[in-house]
């Protein structure tokens, strides 16, 4: 068999405004043709009737933990988890050990990904050496090594002055700076969203202002320099309002949020469930509604998972001491589809755009489309299927999900990477 013919699915390709029943012919790892009643010409026919055929998801913010924290995740396990979640390209942040702040680490990650990966890996380099906020990295070296963007994720770029320098230098190399927006003097010691619930639970709170101060700072810098900035995992109504206002006056700002800010609130913490501890913290219902409105009106460009796997020992501790993060690849589509599409807030093509084409474009890659000639990175979805999230079945080493038992709509059926099945009928094929 020289290729694959996906027959009779509802093909959604936001790049071309395509939404209709069609066949997709894959040859030599690329999309050869999309159209009605294509003939197989010796390729393997695969029935996709009743399913949705879309560009593979692109995750612009995740943590694969290798090198250095292989007990939490590896590039092999993380990209398999990604594939099961429908992702064909993922951008791991630089907070590995050693930090991805030089070409040798980037080369290591890309080499591992080539040999063991089940998804494309698009490394994000550090903005400052060691993520310490004192000295900029060699950005040209990181770009040449294969980094697609820069971020000090884990925390915000240390100071306004450092952020300004970073935006200026990164622009020389055509690199996007992605900022994690949290003012450290306001997050210090905090374990959850600041509000009535944190008072009831007796936990130190993190105010929404911690995020909004950095959002405002970065917008002001991008506006004054006329340069791009990307603000990641936004969680508050105030942040959405700031980005909306900035975009309206032409500031070159893009932004993303995560499935957990769309599908859940701080109520998920319940009886001190440390799996619901994440940075920024889960917020209240008004924030959740504002984040959804921001996705719907285009203020928030894309959805990123912030997949952050941890070992059980790092979560089986007191809430204050628990690590921050949610293992997110394998629940992302079900959570977003349930909270956004099944709830009628957004159409399925709009959600697919937020999870594939939009992040691909923000990162400056040519991924996220089924245009003939593009890499055959494809996800096949069953939007009508009932799906119950069970972290015990995750391929990720991180079983740290607060969504255990979440019953939603929509599941990933197949994932193809470069024209080959990496997930088939919901199971790994590699």
Residue at shortest CB range from Zn ion: 180
Residue 316 burial (C-beta neighbours within 10 Å; 0-12, 13-18, 19+) = exposed
Shorter beta-carbon distance to Zn ion: residue 38 or 216:
216
Residue 282 CB, shortest distance to Zn ion, in Å, is 14
Residue 128 CB, shortest distance to Zn ion, in Å, is 15
Residue 240 CB, shortest distance to Zn ion, in Å, is 17
Task: Give, as one character, the DSSP assignment of residue 132.
Answer: -
Residue 236 CB, shortest distance to Zn ion, in Å, is 14
Q: For residues 81 and 145, what is the distance between their CA atoms, to the nearest angstrom?
A: 25
Shorter beta-carbon distance to Zn ion: residue 180 or 277:
180
Residue 153 CB, shortest distance to Zn ion, in Å, is 4
Q: For residues 64 and 76, what is the distance between their CA atoms, to the nearest angstrom?
A: 9
Active-site position among 306, 377, 382, 425? 306
Residue 242 CB, shortest distance to Zn ion, in Å, is 18
- Cα 399-368-83 angle, rounded to 5 deg: 25
Query: Catalytic site residue 306?
Result: yes
Phi then psi for residue 323, to 5 deg, are -70, 150
CA distances from 321 to 156, 199, 203, 401 (A): 21, 18, 11, 17
Shorter beta-carbon distance to Zn ion: residue 180 or 310:
180
Whether the Cβ atoms of residue 163 and residue 157 lie closer than 8 Å to each other: yes
Shorter beta-carbon distance to Zn ion: residue 214 or 348:
214
Interacting residues with Zn ion (CB under 5 A): 153, 180
Whether the Cβ atoms of residue 46 and residue 38 lie closer than 8 Å to each other: no
Shorter beta-carbon distance to Zn ion: residue 153 or 266:
153
Whether the Cβ atoms of residue 348 and residue 418 lie closer than 8 Å to each other: no
Task: Map residue 88 onto helix, strand or coil.
Answer: strand
Instruction: List, in sequence order, every beta strand (DSSP E) within 99-188.
Output: 120-121, 124-125, 149-150, 176-180
Bridge partners, 31 (sequence order): 26
Whether the Cβ atoms of residue 295 and residue 243 lie closer than 8 Å to each other: no
User: CA nearest 211: which of 299, 149, 306, 287?
Assistant: 287
H-type helices in 249-363, by residue range?
A: 259-263, 285-296, 332-336, 348-355, 357-362
Q: For residues 292 and 300, what is the distance between their CA atoms, to the nearest angstrom?
A: 9
Shorter beta-carbon distance to Zn ion: residue 59 or 353:
59
Torsion of CA 313, 314, 317, 318, to 10 degrees: 180
Q: For residues 330 and 321, what is the distance between their CA atoms, to the nearest angstrom?
A: 25
Shorter beta-carbon distance to Zn ion: residue 124 or 378:
124
User: What residues are labeled active site?
Assistant: 306
């Amino acid at each position: 068999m020289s290729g694959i013919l996906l027959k009779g699915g509802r093909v959604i390709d936001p790049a071309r405004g395509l939404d209709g029943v069609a066949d997709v012919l894959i040859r030599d790892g690329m999309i050869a043709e999309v159209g009605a009643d294509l003939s197989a010409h010796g390729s393997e026919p695969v029935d996709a009737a009743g399913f949705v055929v879309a560009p593979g998801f692109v995750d612009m913010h995740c943590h694969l933990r290798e090198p250095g924290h292989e007990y939490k995740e590896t590039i092999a396990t993380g990209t398999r988890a990604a594939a099961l979640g429908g992702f064909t390209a993922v951008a791991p942040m630089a907070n590995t050990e050693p930090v991805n702040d030089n070409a040798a680490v980037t080369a290591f990650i890309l080499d591992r990904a080539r040999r063991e990966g089940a998804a494309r890996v698009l490394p994000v380099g550090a903005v400052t050496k060691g993520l310490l906020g004192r000295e900029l990295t060699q950005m040209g070296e990181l770009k040449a090594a294969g980094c697609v963007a820069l971020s000090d994720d884990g925390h915000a770029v240390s100071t306004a002055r450092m952020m300004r320098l970073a935006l200026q230098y990164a622009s020389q190399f055509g690199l996007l700076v992605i900022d994690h927006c949290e003012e450290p003097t306001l997050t210090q010691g905090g374990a959850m969203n600041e509000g009535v619930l944190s008072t009831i639970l007796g936990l130190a709170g993190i105010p929404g202002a911690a995020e909004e101060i950095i959002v405002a700072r970065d917008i002001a810098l991008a506006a004054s320099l006329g340069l791009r900035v990307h603000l990641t995992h936004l969680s508050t109504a105030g942040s959405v309002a700031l980005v909306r206002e900035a975009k309206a006056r032409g500031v070159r700002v893009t932004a993303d949020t995560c499935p957990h800010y769309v599908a859940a609130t701080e109520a998920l913490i319940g009886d001190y469930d440390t799996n619901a501890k994440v940075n920024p913290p889960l917020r209240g219902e008004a924030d959740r509604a504002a984040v959804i409105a921001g996705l719907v009106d285009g203020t928030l460009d894309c959805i990123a998972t912030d997949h952050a796997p941890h070992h059980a020992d790092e979560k089986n501790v007191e809430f204050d001491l628990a690590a921050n993060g949610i293992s997110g690849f394998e629940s992302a589509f079900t959570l977003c589809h349930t909270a956004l599409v099944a709830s009628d807030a957004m159409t399925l093509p709009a959600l697919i755009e937020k999870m594939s084409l939009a992040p691909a474009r923000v990162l400056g890659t040519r991924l996220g489309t089924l245009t003939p000639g593009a890499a055959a990175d494809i996800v096949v979805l069953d939007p009508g299927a009932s799906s119950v999230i069970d972290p015990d079945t995750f391929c990720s080493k991180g079983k740290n999900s607060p969504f255990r038992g979440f019953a939603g709509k929509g599941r990933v059926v197949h994932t193809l990477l470069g024209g080959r099945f990496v997930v088939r009928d919901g199971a790994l094929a590699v």
